[in-house]
Amino acid sequence: MGVAVILSAGCIYAVLRMGRAGRQEAAPTAGTSDGAMLVASCASCGREQYVPRIETAVAFTCFECRRANPVPWVASHPVEQTGPLMEYEFTRVNNTFFRVSGQREHHASENPAIMTPLAPIMVGRPAEEGEVDVPSCTICMDAPGDSVVLPCAHGGFCITCISAIKQSGRPYCPQCRKLIDRAVRLEEISDRVAKGVEIRLPPRL
């Protein structure tokens, strides 16, 4: 009886492994730079997840097995974004807390300058005069922490980590545990004011 149970469990495990191995890997980069999400597969466990299309991204972390994967470069099926995005203006309290001071519907053609992303930031580099040093993401400690989640308005995260949290089934702010409704990537930051454009977060797969 015990041997039969073990053999049965082994067969089920083998079938599951074959199913995962047979999945076609998605390798996306097609899409636009307006916050479109793309679907990628983990090379280790085969789990699919949404990955933001950010030109500077070189890797993503699978939220299932926590393995790092290179960002694929072959066009695949992008997740289309519909409806208007929103622009937000924040009062900057510190690197990880902001207050919403204004919002409006975003029109990309109105002000091309606002679509210019922050320049890549070297962790530990001293800020030059007139600049605000953006710290690294408080989750991965790697990418710039240039995103704010709403409605709690906590920041200091990168958009890739926030997207992974949103898909994990526990979409709560890492600081206050409030439900994450949307994310804003900051594109203008000064000592007291920050401005950014909403990036839609994907639903759980």
Domains of the chain, each with CATH number or no CATH: 2-79 (no CATH), 86-199 (3.30.40.10)
pLDDT in tens, the chain (205 residues): 554 545 455 554 544 454 444 433 333 333 333 346 778 888 888 888 887 766 556 677 888 898 888 766 544 344 444 567 889 999 999 989 999 998 888 776 554 333 334 444 333 444 455 556 788 999 999 899 999 999 999 999 999 999 888 887 778 999 998 989 889 999 888 888 999 999 887 766 5
Q: Could you count the other beta carbons within 10 Å of the beta carbon of residue 128?
A: 7
Quick one: which of 139, 138, 148 has its CA closest to 181?
A: 148
Looking up tokens 């958009």, which residue turns up?
159
Q: Are 195 and 188 in contact (CB under 8 A)?
A: yes
Q: Looking at residue 85, what is its pLDDT?
A: 83
Q: Could you count the other beta carbons within 10 Å of the beta carbon of residue 181?
A: 12
Quick one: which of 76, 85, 83, 80 has its CA closest to 32?
A: 80
Residue 66 falls in which region: left (phi positive, over 0), alpha (psi -120 to 50) or beta: left
Report field, pTM of the whole predicted structure over 0.85: no
Tell whether omega for the bond before 52 is within 30 degrees of 0, i.e. cis.
no
Looking up tokens 């047979």, which residue turns up?
22
